[in-house]
Structure 1
């Protein structure tokens, strides 16, 4: 049966390459991906999927479903299609065509087994937190497992990703002439500097895989005036969402202390909260077994730890895995010119094809043996207790 699935992808792969090139040639920033989403939605509709265009407040998100018989589980496959200001320097132009190619192949090839297949188009991964907004509005939660693909320097899967709390802090003081009446002033900038120093001291007393970054986002003004207002941006990260909660509590105490020491007040605003990925070893193993059978390029061991992504919010809620498919040289960073330069090359086409085939054959494994989904859900629950 897997051979039939693969043959279905071979039938449409030239069309998938064309879609990828079209999205590459028309890059769109977060929440503005109207061309890409329409292109993918149209093709899914043409191939018999029930497509819902625009989900909640996210106009460029979509949900496409195909059911065959009566199945207990909903298998979800997700794709991104937003670009960077530089263009498609992260390879998102390949995701949509690859994922919908997998979906269409399953629909055409698998006729004798029951399944529910749901494709989610998820915009604004690059700085927009699209999946977070979609989850907040009730979407994506209707699937039992989630699969994705992404181009990269190697074919592999991820085990964990970093939870992140992005926080903006404003301090409010009292302005005065710094030379003539310094005693009347209360420096908001002093409070921010003390907060920075407090984070440095906190850095000595946290687990080693914790990360903390900060910067000034609004300048305090001339040197001879005590600053009455200033803002800083802090990024707090951990590979464990529960431990990140502890870090946030201690961070809040630092901010409170900095305000007390300077006679200022403060305001904290959390901009984004990305969760840590819960390991999904069963899905990871299925993906890599299929990658090996298909002869995918540059197969490597799993990445135990990766950065932060809004896919982490999905995989903190339900089991999920992303197949990374090699298409750029090893050592190449995403958001780079090299990603951009290879966006329509032979390597990109191979990435689309291998991604579609790996995801489709993994979906077939789950359809053929639903107990794998049950086992993955139980494994997920056990790991989440710790994270």
Structure 2
């Protein structure tokens, strides 16, 4: 029986990536033992061993590319040894290099068909830049590594899904980036992903760029001249696409189940509602104690999901990091990989 291999990259090894990766292995022990899939952690072995010893977590055995298909249900695929020691909770060029190398290795294996999907733990953009990799984040890095020019970020929390027309750019640049071609590309990729998740007739709403969808042109004409025209074209093809819907109501409707996904115009418009739902706050202390949510990159030739949080340097190494977002990302990756297999055999 062929067992799907899901690769988990450690992200920045000075953050919580090593901890949540080992906690995910622990949480998935029964499923891994039942050979539902194989989990391959890609990262620095010494960092994982140190994390396991300090927190009392089991560290999987080491494998290599030659024996990968014969690896146990959980294993480590090592990156090259660090050129200098990595200090937990500290930004460094070495951490950035390790984070990039893990992703590069996993991407190459996904392209070769060795792994079914890639799941990424968080990296630190400053560390990445110190290492000489000028990327705004994972999404842009993965696009370059796979030769894609127009990938799309989708955030998901249960049935709450939000794709983004633009992400890491200045707010003043959003109207220029939100062309009909780009919005259409995001809608199309979101539609295809929803089909892949088993939704037969996807319902997608496009968020307005301006308050009140421009209020008849008083607050700008982008929603009228660009989005409305695009939506009419989709509807003429009997696709259930709505918009532009004002940003202050569209996510309430999404949460109420009126849509299967929303297309947001810019980073904060889409991220804020997803993270408000995904982060659980302890009212007594005012601190977050759990989080969930998945970042899915659409438009790549490989399957990639990720946690919906950062490196959390402030709690790294303390043993209190939650693996819930990583576990959700692994489940999402498996769903997409299963659907990809079904489509391939049709």
- State the TM-score, normalizing by the size of structure 1: 0.27
TM-score in terms of structure 2 length? 0.29
The structure whose residues are more often strand, as a share, is 1
